[in-house]
Amino acid sequence: MSGVTARTPPSPAELATALGRTGYLADDGLATAGYLALRLGRPLFLEGDAGVGKTAFAQALATAIDATFVRLQCYEGLDASQALYDWDFPRQILHLRTIEATAVAAGERVDADQVEASLYDRRFLVARPLLQALEISPCVLLVDEIDRADDEFEAFLLEILSESAITIPELGRIAAARPPVVVLTSNRTREVHDALKRRCLYHWVEHPDFEREVAILRTRLPDISDRLAAEVARATRRMRQLDLLKPPGVAEALDWASALTALGAESMDPDLAAVTLGAVLKYREDADRVRGLGMAELLEA
């Protein structure tokens, strides 16, 4: 079943327009990949450098198609109970104590089987992101930074994506009325297994070109001057050509432009660029390398 909803745009160009209304400016390749994921009901696997807008795309897609956004942030050691569901143990204990106290007060005998069954009622189930995504329709599920999770979790996730359903021993099978639109992201800190990639449509998210980055800055920061937006985009683009530990992405360009705008800047000179580098570069070695290059040269590049 496809992930098409009543708000799904009828073409990649119209999806790009809908994303643009949310403030996300997608290029043709990304808009096409997103559209095909919706039409074909396939997960979309987005790879690219940190800060290029992979996470923001999933958030914007949910808004564009009027779907609920659910995010699963991956990390080392993530397991099924943290991603899927868990039981509310404190509430179960409180429920058990209440049954016992009520039975004692009434002079009745407690039926152990009946009590045990009541402990696993749906009201005591805590839905984690994967279960939430199966129960909510329509939904965009973001599995963020899957490359940070373990191999075992990848295999578990592949099973969930294939079935769009889970079985909870105490409650039975829970299946999605409509499979969620799934977006997976990776910063490529490790290679994700081919089995998971084969299940997905794939797109490498590039850094935006100069014109699109200027447009992103002006869209997200309406108070920025045209000149400052161009200077930030130009300088950030130059930094990405250097051998930095963490080249700045769009997110860092936005942070830098926000900082400069907060200082009342209409344009950027070398001194102002130097004192605000902490907004765009997050490693001392990177800042030292850029300063060694020369701020004037950076701005003139």
Reported as a single tens digit per residue, the pLDDT across 126-176 is 999 999 999 998 999 999 999 999 988 988 898 888 889 888 888 889 999
Gyration radius (Cα) of the chain, Å: 24
pLDDT of residue 301: 60
d(CA 230, CA 228): 5
pLDDT of residue 1: 41
- 138 within 8 A of 68, measured Cβ to Cβ: yes
Both tokens of 2, joined, read 């496809």
Both tokens of 298, joined, read 């950076």
Measured over the CA atoms of residue 123, residue 125, residue 131 and residue 133, the dihedral's sign is positive
Task: Name 168's bridge partners.
Answer: 172
Query: 12-82+128-204, which class in CATH?
Result: alpha beta
- Give every residue of the chain whose pLDDT is below 50, as ranges: 1-2
Measured over the CA atoms of residue 89, residue 148, residue 141 and residue 80, the dihedral's sign is negative
pLDDT of residue 110: 67
d(CA 160, CA 163): 5
In this structure, the number of other CB atoms found within 10 A of the CB of residue 271 comes to: 10
- Candidates 53, 24, 66; CA nearest to 203 is 53
Task: Name 70's bridge partners.
Answer: 141
- 12 within 8 A of 150, measured Cβ to Cβ: no
- Cα separations in angstroms, 182 against 3, 69, 89: 9, 10, 30
As a dihedral over the C-alpha atoms of residue 64, residue 26, residue 199, residue 79, rounded to 10 degrees, the angle is: -70
The full DSSP string for the chain is -----TT--SSHHHHHHHHHHTT----HHHHHHHHHHHHHT--EEEE-STTSSHHHHHHHHHHHTT-EEEEEE--TT--HHHHTEEE-HHHHHHHHHHHHHHHHHHT----HHHHHHHHT-GGGEEE-HHHHHHHSSSEEEEEETGGGS-HHHHHHHHHHHHHSEEEETTTEEEE-SSPPEEEEEE--SSPPPHHHHHTSEEEE-PPPPHHHHHHHHHHH-TTS-HHHHHHHHHHHHHHHTS--SS---HHHHHHHHHHHHHTT-SS--HHHHHHTGGGT--SHHHHHHHHHH-HHHHHH-
pLDDT of residue 44: 97
Task: Name 127's bridge partners.
Answer: 85
